[in-house]
Structure 1
């Protein structure tokens, strides 16, 4: 068994568990000010949510310390990642710099959130298990997607649905954490993007283009799956992730990004495409380094088993959520609905914090702050772009 830092070993106290309430979902629409500069839009975002952004940074800094990653290491990775963004996507670097200034933070401190996946590579003992994604084709050949987002509840007391217009005139809606440039999202060209963390032996703590920055540029610039693949291939990351994209033309692919290579895994017969937290590409899978062997393969099998039955029915969001929530064979629960074990340290507790469904051709994203088994009775936020 790995030895965790003392600050991470203590399980959540009763008071901590009481404070772990449902994540609050905020919204901001920057499209009306799209004629303004990237600096003015970033400043408007920062002024509106200064306290939330600063809290997000503070929570991540404390989290990294609790799992044994020093502030010096965090700053070094953050600085390298910012330089990589500045070279690869300068417009985003301007946004990050302006946002940091607006909320009164050093750039490296804000980058601790932007590059949190890259920072975590410095701690190989920390289990990172996020998200199950399904892209399903209906009889009209139009694609719908749905995914869960699993993470540590204490790090995300609030999250954001952000709308903005890119330099190329594409409108974007993305669900993300405060301070991060993007995560799951959809754009006005009819492209949807889903997000699953991966782990490869080539991952390193030297810093590179953050995977959340790659997601942002794809949403800002790509109008088709092929264009998304091209954008992803141009980045040199230091961490691995699967960015599953689907478009209004009926195409879908999982862009498996790693420092070793970037490869597109295409949808199989019937148009359906599923991804969890291990590589599917045969070459990249040779460098598989997941610490999540006990669940990622089971979750992928669950997706394949529950969605083949509805692939001809053109499932809408509620039907897709119901599929995700179906119990596994021989179980009373779905393996994709994660419930935290409060007897464990908070840094080892995982919970399904968000379920997001998208219809790229309809340019609609539906967000529920919870697991898919609560979708039917929950408050759904619908976003059109």
Structure 2
């Protein structure tokens, strides 16, 4: 196990089977996991007047679906808890916080509407001839104190790197098979906290896949707990944006147009929801998508540097691609960019910011052959 800091978020590297790597992860990230638990306890109290024991009870409802879908992930969750010195229910609650928010009363669903804007460019649109993809991951400000870069080296699946909240299985990342993953919140009129495979467990399943096509099939064939957007590509040229709704029904597939895919937080495929609940609450998702798409069209081929600039876009601020916390709002209600991320699928590496791309130094590259 290694825990290093490279001018950005902590880099935690773990190895071994699910029990060993989970334990090492929990041990290395213990302080940040404890902070994440306190942060979400405040969030649920603020939005739903739920105490943490109530949140944990709701998280435990997903133990069965996780076990059935991925026994290895279930083992890892239990081992993370052991390493961090917390209850399994605590780590389940972190990994199912999106689903619990949809089940909670009052205003809890509002905080589930985070702002993320993502892209992928196929080789003909990049100066390096590699697929490049990335996004701004936007969430509550407290996640800036709990985010880490997790590197996992293992024999039971591809190695992977993910930028994620401490204690959680995965978020945005890339694996040693060249599979890359970006993601965006979607909220359909069917998102009501149903029991199914949780969002962050499905994100992890993408990084467990040997190809983009395999990752898409895993998501398509699963009874999903809530809606989400999965932008999946691989180094072999596969690229698709998969919009999903709760359950095991149809998904919407968006293919690259002129070598590019962009996405924000509203449905683009007809028929997946009667009412787009995110768009209903936050119409600026359309503006963010417009501005990022325009950035992609500004030049025929992009470099890593031009993509960094795109993620620092402030058009229509404060509701822009690059977001900043509003200090006038309560801490549990402040959303902002937690990390800007750009991935090179051929190099199996990523670079990232610790905070808003316009004011943060880019760290990395963090690669799957790195010794950090």
Q: Which SS does the other structure have where 1:67 is aligned?
A: helix
Q: 1:47-75 deviations in whole A, cap 9, x for unaligned?
A: 22222212211221221111125235423
Q: 1:301 aligns with which of 256, 273, 290?
A: 290
Matched, 1:85 2:66: yes
Indicate conservation of the 8 Å contact 1:192/1:360, yes or no.
Answer: yes
Is 1:55 aligned to residue 35 of structure 2? yes
- Calculate the TM-score normalised by the size of structure 2: 0.88
Matched, 1:113 2:100: no
List runs of 5+ in structure 2 lacking aligned partners: 1-6
326 and 47 in structure 1: CA distance in 2 versus 1, 3 angstrom threshold: closer
* 1:24–1:159 contact (8 Å) kept in structure 2: no
Contact 1:341 1:350 (8 Å CA) reproduced? yes
SS at structure 2 position matched to 1:217: helix
Secondary structure of the residue aligned to 2:228 is strand
Which residue of 330, 335, 345 maps to 2:330? 345
CA separation of 1:356 and 1:341: change in aligned 2, threshold 3 A? same
Say if 2:176 and 2:348, in contact at 8 Å, map to a contact too. Answer: yes
- Give how far 1:359 is off: 0.9
How many Å separate the matches in 2 of 1:166 and 1:207?
Answer: 30
Aligned partner of 2:133 in structure 1 is: 145
| Counterpart pick for 2:228 among 215, 218, 241 | 241
**Structure 1 residue 364 and structure 2 residue 349: aligned?**
yes
- Does 2:121 align with 1:136? yes
1:225 equivalenced with 2:208 (yes/no): no
The answer as to 2:161 corresponding to 1:173 is yes
2:244–2:272 Cα contact (<8 Å) kept = no
Contact kept, 8 Å, 2:351 with 2:362, in 1: the verdict is no
CA contact (8 A) 2:95 2:200 kept: yes
> Shift in Å at residue 229 of structure 1?
0.7
**Contact between 1:366 and 1:381, CA under 8 Å: does it hold in 2?**
yes
Looking at structure 2, the residues matched to 232 and 269 of structure 1 have their Cα atoms a distance apart, in angstroms, of 23
| Residues 146 and 317 in structure 1, CA contact (< 8 A), matched pair in contact too | no
Note the C-alpha offset of 1:340. Answer: 1.8
Superposition deviation, residue 176 in structure 1: 0.5
1:15 corresponds to which residue? none
Pick aligned residue for 1:124 from 83, 93, 109:
109
Residue of structure 1 equivalent to 2:363: 380
Aligned to 1:265: 253
TM, length-normalised to structure 1: 0.85
Q: Is the 8 A contact 1:100 1:110 kept in 2?
A: yes
Three-state SS of the structure 2 residue aligned to 1:374 is coil
How far off its partner does 1:166 sit?
Answer: 4.8
Residues 327 and 97 of structure 1: CA distance in aligned 2, closer, same or farther (over 3 Å): closer
State the Cα RMSD in Å. 2.2
Flag structure 1 segments of 5+ consecutive residues without an equivalent. Answer: 1-22
- Give, in angstroms, the shift of residue 174 of structure 1: 0.8
Runs of 4+ in structure 1 off by over 6 angstroms are none
Residue number in structure 2 paired with 1:25: 9
